[in-house]
Amino acid sequence: GKFDPAEIVESARRGGYAVGGFNMHNVETTQALLQAAELADAPVFMQVGRAVVPHMGLAESFRMTQRELSKSDAQAVIHLDHGTYDEVFEALRLGFDSIMFDGSHLDFEDNIKATKYVVKVCHSFGVPVEAELGKIPDANTAINWPDFYTSVDEAERFVAETGVDFLAISAGVMHGVTATEPLPLDIERIARIRDVTGIPLVLHGASGVPLDDIRAAIAAGINKLNADTDLRHAFRRGIEETWALGDRQLEDGMAEGRRQMIEATVQKMREFGCADRSQN
């Protein structure tokens, strides 16, 4: 790609804001994210993640995103989200700009070992790596937070030994949205992990998180925020509202879904502070 993802996140760290990582699911949602980035004048991580890979495959997800990106003026990079060990190497071969290896299911020592190797290989291709330590739970499952939170001491050792570029941590936020607000967001933990690691931190699961919590998390050291569910819901709302009017073309529903997803994404970019921060 033509933009440096590490530099985009480093600019966010220096500027005290967070860049958005948003998941594409098909051509219309890819276009929505790129158009939102253009409208908001924001840098953006276009994420290929857990839902789309089984649906259209890693290679086609990448190529389609790359094709749309080539027609766009956005400062966009293509990022593998929650990559498995095997997907990381396929993503490198395909030409991803940025890669997340998610070894959070491994025990601590194995996560270090696997992440360290991934970092070594990715860095030899100039590709930055996001890793995950602690576990990010799914909304509406049974959650005993002490089992999920990232340990400050482990984070310090993990970053020192792996050389990872960005660290996704678990600090009271979950994937998806939940009715059990307020979230047990541990701002103090985020700040301590920032202080001991010295690298930009990533918070997944930003959908459903109140704006005050988003702001506090950024102030504590979060420089990349991943959001998917709220944007997916916006796309779906556009489709449902259109089809509720009676029989319509599939394209009419998808066009309205795209329009509503653009609005929702621009709003997230403003909330994350990355609007008007594009260097393109």
Using CB under 5 A, list all residues that contact Zn ion.
Answer: 204, 226
Catalytic residue among 41, 81, 97, 213: 81
Between 127 and 214, CB nearer to Na ion: 214
Q: Is 81 in the site for ligand 13P (CB under 6 A)?
A: yes
Known binding residue 23? Answer is no
Is 79 annotated in a binding site? The answer is no
**Residue 82, marked binder:** yes
**DSSP sequence for 58-113:** HHHHHHHHHHHHHT--SEEEEEEEEE-HHHHHHHHHHT-SEEEE--TTS-HHHHHH
Reading the block at residue 114, the tokens are 């696997």
**CA 98 – CA 110 distance, rounded (Å):** 22
175 is in an annotated binding site: yes
DSSP reduced 3-state for 46: strand
CA distances from 26 to 15, 53, 68, 235 (A): 32, 11, 11, 11
Among 115, 162, 226, 265, binds ligand 13P (CB under 6 A): 226
Per CB under 6 A, the segment of 2-10, 107-115, 151-159, 224-232 that binds ligand 13P is 224-232
278 binds ligand 13P (CB under 6 A): no
Does residue 81 carry a catalytic annotation?
A: yes
CA 11, 50, 249, 257 torsion-angle sign: negative
For residues 164-203, which are near ligand 13P according to CB under 6 A? 175-176
> DSSP character for 210?
-
205 lines the binding site for Na ion (CB under 5 A): yes
Binding-site residues for dihydroxyacetone phosphate: 176, 205-207, 226-229
- Residues at the contact surface with ligand 13P, assessed by CB under 6 A: 23, 49, 81-82, 175-176, 204-207, 226-229
